Amino acid sequence: MNVAQQMPQDFPLLDLRHYQMIVTLAKTPRVTDAAEELGVTPSALSHRIREAERRLGVPLFSRSHKRLRMTAAAESLAQVADRLIAELVRAEHDAERMGHGVRHVVRLAVEAYSSYHWLPAFLRHLQQVIPDVGIQVVAGAAKSPLESLADHTVDLIILSGQNAATRLETFHLFDDELLFIMAPTHRLAERPHIEGVDIVGEDFITYTRVPEPDREYAKLFRPNDTYPNWTETVELPEAIVEMVAAGLGTSVLAGWAVGGAIKAGRIIGNRVGAEGVSVPWYAVIRPDNASEDQVTREVAKTLAAWCHDNDGFRQ
């Protein structure tokens, strides 16, 4: 019996090259550009599209001035395929690493931030404590870490404040103070701390406009009904630091993530309010009992102990 005869009747009608084609065309709708990216001729790409449509029995694209417009069916396939292809690449990478002495790979993501200056030191420590475990950073999970943990895209997430869900297993890492950041030449740079009245009318850049009960909105803005001039929403805090350093606005970010820029003199970081605003950070994992989850739990414990010994993620 050949492989095709052994496959279940609901086995996918399209193969990997079709899904790669759909994902590519979703990002690059010009046939010639998409064909070049896929390494095929435009005619071969057109043939592949027709083959996919024949197998599915539904149209996937319509032509409009040398560009392809996706149908609803193609858009649905593209969303799923993009995630699955990324999972396949990660799985292949994990398998390759396991062939070189790494028996377990723990996938990790940090909420909102992509500052990983602390990671090399932790990896060196982890190799001493659990030498057959590797860490893979899943940067794309930073925007929705809890959802990524639930759907097994990641194994361990690093969250702050009240985002650490009670139904998940949490390990306290450290407490960190939020800092009001500005360019060194800013008019508030010499203040020992920033009050709500100080920021009225100030250009303010944030990575989220969703008010959180333990952050600057509730601690600085709302109490006295004093608000800055909301100018930008930039989802990458590292980009916010660059904009603030260039004098394009102010912001409030985690102290551990902006410490390097402050030490370099590129920005100023002042306390939020006279007493400051401290936010706890946690390592969060699924409360499962499979053997691979036990390894993740050991990594979380090791990270917590390392943070307690090294003042968290501070540089």
The parent domain of residue 298 ranges over 104-173+280-309
* Same domain assignment for residues 127 and 71: no
Residue 98 counted as domain residue: no
Q: Which helix (H) or strand (E) holds 233?
A: strand 229-233
Other CB atoms within 10 A of residue 11 CB: 8
What are the residues whose beta carbons fall under 8 Å from the beta carbon of 59, sequence distance 6 or more?
53, 71, 73
* Same domain assignment for residues 169 and 288: yes
Domain endpoint, select from 65, 80, 95: 80
What's 31's domain CATH number?
A: 1.10.10.10
* Same domain assignment for residues 160 and 197: no
What pLDDT is stored for residue 283 in this prediction?
Answer: 95
> Angle 149-11-88 (CA atoms, 0-180°, nearest 5)?
40
What pLDDT is stored for residue 293 in this prediction?
Answer: 78
Domain count, the chain: 3
Q: What is the DSSP letter of 187?
A: T
Residue 22 counted as domain residue: yes
* pLDDT tens digits for range 108-167: 999 988 889 999 999 999 999 998 888 989 888 888 888 888 888 899 999 998 655 557
* Same domain assignment for residues 259 and 169: no
Lookup: tokens for 297? 């739990």
What pLDDT is stored for residue 207 in this prediction?
Answer: 85
* Same domain assignment for residues 292 and 145: yes
What pLDDT is stored for residue 235 in this prediction?
Answer: 85
Alpha-carbon span 205 to 255, nearest angstrom: 16
* Same domain assignment for residues 47 and 76: yes
* Same domain assignment for residues 272 and 303: no
Place of tokens 């994990």: 94
* Same domain assignment for residues 273 and 179: yes
What are the residues whose beta carbons fall under 8 Å from the beta carbon of 101, sequence distance 6 or more?
132
Radius of gyration of the chain (CA): 24
Query: Strand 156-160 relative to strand 278-285: parallel, antiparallel, unpaired?
Result: antiparallel
CB 313 within 8 A of CB 255: no
Burial of 9 (0-12, 13-18, 19+ CB in 10 A): exposed
* Same domain assignment for residues 138 and 261: no
Q: Is 277 helix (H, G, I), strand (E, B) or coil?
A: coil
Alpha-carbon span 39 to 43, nearest angstrom: 12
What pLDDT is stored for residue 4 in this prediction?
Answer: 44
Residue 6 counted as domain residue: no
CA 73 to chain centre: 27
What's 288's domain CATH number?
A: 3.40.190.10
Segments in the chain below pLDDT 70: 1-11, 89-102, 162-166, 214, 289-292, 315
* Same domain assignment for residues 204 and 288: no
